């Protein structure tokens, strides 16, 4: 996505479908379907021209695997910032974390868990973007749900209703 000098892109992603069991919740791995859905998200983001220069990813195995599969499918060569605090973060804590992103970042990807990712995308939505995508976002945030938002401002000022939904996608076509 080409952005003018003041516009930034934020991509909010819920991890793809995971196995039901693991040694611990944080160690649950993606299912076969999860890997395929994450790759579909990567292909979709690539088709939109999304090329992040920073990524914040929960430290859980399934979120790291989701990011890796998306990055592989999208052709990104980016090491994510794997953050332990995002695993149990609520939407306000996640928002606080995003506010610490360096100013030179133009496109940011965040991969985390529900209900936080759904709440974060809805919290940021100003209702002035793509109405169809915004309506689909409001209907649910299943595994691999991805919201692309446009934001004008510095990351430190990211706040409620400050970004516009540009697109919404769920891997696997759900």
**Fold exhibited by the domain 7-173:** Rossmann fold (3.40.50)
> Average of pLDDT values for 123-136?
94
Tens-place pLDDT, residues 39-58: 999 999 999 999 999 999 99
pLDDT band for position 174 (cuts 50, 70, 90): low
Distance CA 65, CA 18 (A): 10
21, two tokens: 């069991």
pLDDT band for position 5 (cuts 50, 70, 90): low
CB 15 within 8 A of CB 41: no
Report helix, strand or coil for 34. Answer: helix
129, two tokens: 């973007």
Distances (CA, A) of 139 to 21, 104, 106, 134: 27, 33, 28, 9
Domain residues of the chain, as ranges?
A: 7-173
């Amino acid at each position: 996505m080409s952005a003018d000098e003041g516009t930034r892109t934020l991509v909010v992603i819920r991890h793809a479908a995971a196995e039901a069991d693991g040694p611990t919740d944080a160690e649950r791995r993606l299912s076969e379907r999860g890997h395929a859905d994450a790759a579909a998200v990567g292909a979709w983001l690539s088709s939109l021209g999304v090329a992040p220069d920073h990524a914040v990813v929960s430290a859980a195995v399934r979120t790291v695997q989701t990011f890796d599969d998306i990055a592989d499918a999208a052709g990104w060569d980016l090491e994510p910032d794997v953050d332990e605090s995002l695993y149990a973060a609520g939407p306000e804590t996640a928002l606080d974390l995003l506010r610490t992103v360096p100013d030179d970042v133009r496109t940011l990807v965040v991969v985390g868990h529900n209900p936080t990712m759904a709440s974060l995308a809805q919290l940021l939505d100003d209702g002035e973007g793509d109405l169809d995508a915004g309506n689909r976002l409001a209907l649910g945030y299943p595994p691999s749900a991805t919201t692309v938002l446009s934001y004008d401002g510095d990351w430190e000022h990211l706040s409620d209703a400050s970004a516009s939904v540009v697109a919404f996608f769920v891997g696997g076509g759900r």
